[in-house]
Chain A
Amino acid sequence: MDLSFDLLGNAIVSGLLLGGFYAAVTIGVSISFGMLDVVNIAHPAFIVLGSYIAYMANAQLGIDPILASIVVMPAFYLLGVVIYHIYDVSFERRGDASIRGLAFFFGILFISEVALVLIFGVDYRLVSAPYIGPSLHLGVVELPLRLLVPCLVALLMTALLQVYMSRTFIGRAIQAVAQDPLALRLMAADPTRIKRIAFGLSIATASVAGAILIVIQPVEPSIARDYIGRIFAICVMGGLGSFSGTVVAAMTLGIVESLTSTFYGPSWSPAVAFGFLLVTLAVRPAGLFGRI
């Protein structure tokens, strides 16, 4: 009885920590899909790309993976700007975003996976850092720093983005794009430019998300696909573009997954995210359907 209570407590705490990490992974999609309506299913591929860059920096130069990811954020931002530009010219302006736009991002997802396989092979890669290994102990509850540090970094990144979105002109313009493109024109802002910036930001978050992914678990190229269900489930359940909603949804999924993996085994956890996604889609269609 006592033992299972400890188990339960630990499962919930690690679920919360995992949830913080999920929030970081999802926040980019909350911007691109939730606010801009750009269905970037390749987002997890950029995250895994971030993981490999952190791995390289760590293995070759001995730099802290998270620090390295923050340094390369501007490069990710530029990558996002370029990709949005291609997307905008090729699909959005032609009014052809649905099928071909999806196929475009799917192609990118696939290309990056195969390219990583060609360069790095299919072996799992991991990083080393002082916080990987030790744990804090609060009574019976164990707080592995390997999970705690990513969670804190993730929450910090989310909070900074929240401040940016609500305090700056461009941040507010991005939110206006989400709600009402017409209002944006009244603010005398160019919607395409605003969207390009927002998309750049969303890809920039993938750099940090990738670094904390490889801190939490070893990474191999095809891991990106496992995250698609999770990311979109969280994004939809979090209310498409709401950061606080994203964090709450991410923590909920984290706890449910952690409980499943504690009591049924880790090989079942991908199924949890899918169930989550289906339930979300089945229960919350009204709010989604109103958008045309």
Chain B
Amino acid sequence: MRNLWFSAVAVVVAALVFAAARLIGNPYVYFAGYVVLQYVVLATAWNILGGYTGYVNFGTAAFFALGAYATVVLHKIAPATPLPAMMLVGGVLSALTGLGMGYLTLRLRGTFFSIATLAMAVVVQTLVTNWNFVGGSRGAYIIRPSHAPLFSGDYTQYLFLVMLGLCVVAIGIARAIEKSRLGFGFAAIRDDEHAAEASGVPTLRLKLIATALSGGLMGMAGAPLPYYVTYLDPASGFNLSYAVNTIAMPLIGGTSTWAGPLIGAVLLGTLQQVATVTISSALSLLIVGVLLVIFVIAAPRGIVGWFRR
């Protein structure tokens, strides 16, 4: 019942955001807003595994790019596929990858999983770079429709709306998990895996669920990317900044609740959009890195922690 209420409120908030964007009417709002929303999804997805279960995933870029490249492939072989369907394909692909990775490494200490995800990002990039069908290292061009389907407006507006919808879904999932049996199981694993197992928690299965869910949402967030950038090459699809941002945002916002990644992503995402325009993109990334280090040292509970006991 409470979940239903929350969903209703989330949908209303999302509708208000979209209405506000339409009211402002500046195309840059959609363009910059899309990136912020994409980070809300990525940070929320990362937090399901990292914040709730305590397993650090450094391979965001790989899951994200898998989703993006799934769209590139679909665009080539079945260009008529609607975007939400492409997102579903990208999500499933990333979820399965997460499951496979997890199955091989999640039986070990969490550190090994983290190292494996870091290495995986390099390998998936190697594979894509060597795969000529999706453009290899040269990259691929995607021609996007000029108008949004379903309503009148630019296609960027449609991408913005789709990402807004995915935000609602991702945050809804994260919040539903938090107060559920699954969420308590995740938290038990994070606190003490050995004790969790001894309390009846099927730790391996739960970790696999978290990895698949988290990876799947990252893949879905990546799927619309080719239409947003219209030109996708491995260097941009696998950019390290995705991994850093998705770790920095939850840790800065606070990892214990769904609100943390949301706050972190909106603050940091907006800051970067402003800094990229006013200063430079490299410097704005440096700011994120420095903020991450400062927060993990000085504010281990994140911004959310300031408002709670």
Residue ranges of A at the interface with B (Cβ–Cβ < 8 Å): 39, 41, 86, 90-91, 94, 96, 98-100, 102-104, 106-108, 110-111, 113-115, 117-118, 222, 225-226, 228-229, 232-233, 236, 267-268, 270-271, 273-274, 277-278, 281-282, 285, 288-289, 291-292
Once the chains bind, are B240 and A103 in contact (CB under 8 Å)? no
Determine the chain A residues whose CB is within 8 A of the CB of B54 once the complex forms. Answer: 98-99
Taking the closest CB of chain A, its distance from the CB of B52, in whole angstroms, is: 11
Once the chains bind, are B56 and A271 in contact (CB under 8 Å)? no
Once the chains bind, are B104 and A106 in contact (CB under 8 Å)? no
Once the chains bind, are A228 and B296 in contact (CB under 8 Å)? no
A-contacting residues, B254-309, CB 8 Å: 255, 282-283, 285-286, 289-290, 292-293, 296-297, 300
Q: Tell me the bound Cα distance from A98 to B240 in angstroms.
A: 21
Once the chains bind, are A233 and B119 in contact (CB under 8 Å)? yes
Given the known inter-chain contacts A103-B247, A225-B122, please indicate yes or no for A39 contacting B114, CB distance below 8 A. Answer: yes
Which of these, B115, B255, B282, B297, contacts A41 with CB under 8 Å? Answer: B115
Once the chains bind, are B255 and A99 in contact (CB under 8 Å)? yes
Once the chains bind, are A288 and B108 in contact (CB under 8 Å)? yes
Q: Tell me the bound Cα distance from A291 to B293 in angstroms.
A: 28
Determine the chain A residues whose CB is within 8 A of the CB of B119 once the complex forms. Answer: 228-229, 232-233, 273-274, 277
Which of these, B112, B240, B290, B293, contacts A288 with CB under 8 Å? Answer: B112
- Of B125-133, B202-210, B214-222, the one contacting chain A is B125-133
Q: Tell me the bound Cα distance from A267 to B286 in angstroms.
A: 29
Taking the closest CB of chain A, its distance from the CB of B210, in whole angstroms, is: 14
Given the known inter-chain contacts A100-B300, A103-B251, A103-B296, please indicate yes or no for A277 contacting B116, CB distance below 8 A. Answer: yes
Q: Tell me the bound Cα distance from A117 to B292 in angstroms.
A: 19
**With an 8 A cutoff between CB atoms, is B85 at the interface?**
no
Which single residue of chain B is at the shortest CB-CB distance from A291?
B109
Q: Tell me the bound Cα distance from A90 to B251 in angstroms.
A: 15
Once the chains bind, are A281 and B116 in contact (CB under 8 Å)? yes
Which single residue of chain A is at the shortest CB-CB distance from B296?
A100
Which single residue of chain B is at the shortest CB-CB distance from A230?
B119
Determine the chain A residues whose CB is within 8 A of the CB of B283 once the complex forms. Answer: 118
Given the known inter-chain contacts A268-B126, A270-B123, please indicate yes or no for A108 contacting B293, CB distance below 8 A. Answer: yes
Determine the chain A residues whose CB is within 8 A of the CB of B292 once the complex forms. Answer: 103, 106-107, 110
Which of these, B127, B129, B240, B296, contacts A113 with CB under 8 Å? Answer: B240
Once the chains bind, are A271 and B115 in contact (CB under 8 Å)? no
Q: Tell me the bound Cα distance from A41 to B247 in angstroms.
A: 15
Q: Tell me the bound Cα distance from A59 to B240 in angstroms.
A: 29
Taking the closest CB of chain A, its distance from the CB of B265, in whole angstroms, is: 16
A-contacting residues, B48-95, CB 8 Å: 50, 54, 56, 58
In the assembled complex, 9 residue pairs joining A and B whose CB atoms fall closer than 8 Å, in A order, are: A90-B296, A99-B56, A100-B296, A110-B292, A222-B240, A267-B126, A268-B126, A277-B115, A281-B112
Which single residue of chain A is at the shortest CB-CB distance from B245?
A110
Once the chains bind, are A104 and B112 in contact (CB under 8 Å)? no
Taking the closest CB of chain A, its distance from the CB of B43, in whole angstroms, is: 13
Taking the closest CB of chain B, its distance from the CB of A283, in whole angstroms, is: 11
**With an 8 A cutoff between CB atoms, is B11 at the interface?**
no
New contact pairs (11) apart from A107-B248, A232-B115, CB-CB < 8 Å: A39-B114, A90-B296, A107-B289, A111-B286, A113-B240, A222-B240, A236-B112, A268-B130, A271-B127, A278-B116, A289-B107
**With an 8 A cutoff between CB atoms, is B194 at the interface?**
yes
Taking the closest CB of chain A, its distance from the CB of B38, in whole angstroms, is: 19
Which of these, B107, B121, B247, contacts A106 with CB under 8 Å? Answer: B247
Q: Tell me the bound Cα distance from A88 to B249 in angstroms.
A: 24
Once the chains bind, are B120 and A96 in contact (CB under 8 Å)? no
Once the chains bind, are A229 and B118 in contact (CB under 8 Å)? yes
Once the chains bind, are A289 and B108 in contact (CB under 8 Å)? yes
Cβ contacts B91-115/A at 8 Å (1 or 0 each): 0000000000000110111111011
Most chain B CB within 10 A, of A91, A106, A117, A229, is at A106
Once the chains bind, are A271 and B126 in contact (CB under 8 Å)? yes
Which of these, A102, A117, A236, A274, contacts B123 with CB under 8 Å? Answer: A274
Determine the chain B residues whose CB is within 8 A of the CB of A41 once the complex forms. Answer: 58, 114-115, 118
Determine the chain A residues whose CB is within 8 A of the CB of B297 once the complex forms. Answer: 86, 90, 104
Which single residue of chain A is at the shortest CB-CB distance from B50?
A99
Determine the chain A residues whose CB is within 8 A of the CB of B240 once the complex forms. Answer: 110, 113, 222, 225
Taking the closest CB of chain A, its distance from the CB of B257, in whole angstroms, is: 15
Once the chains bind, are A107 and B293 in contact (CB under 8 Å)? yes
Given the known inter-chain contacts A225-B122, A226-B122, A273-B119, please indicate yes or no for A114 contacting B289, CB distance below 8 A. Answer: yes
Determine the chain A residues whose CB is within 8 A of the CB of B115 once the complex forms. Answer: 39, 41, 228-229, 232, 277
Q: Tell me the bound Cα distance from A103 to B105 in angstroms.
A: 19
Once the chains bind, are B293 and A111 in contact (CB under 8 Å)? yes
Taking the closest CB of chain A, its distance from the CB of B271, in whole angstroms, is: 15
Which single residue of chain B is at the shortest CB-CB distance from A289?
B108
Given the known inter-chain contacts A103-B56, A232-B115, please indicate yes or no for A282 contacting B104, CB distance below 8 A. Answer: yes
Taking the closest CB of chain B, its distance from the CB of A153, in whole angstroms, is: 26
Once the chains bind, are B300 and A96 in contact (CB under 8 Å)? yes
**With an 8 A cutoff between CB atoms, is B173 at the interface?**
no
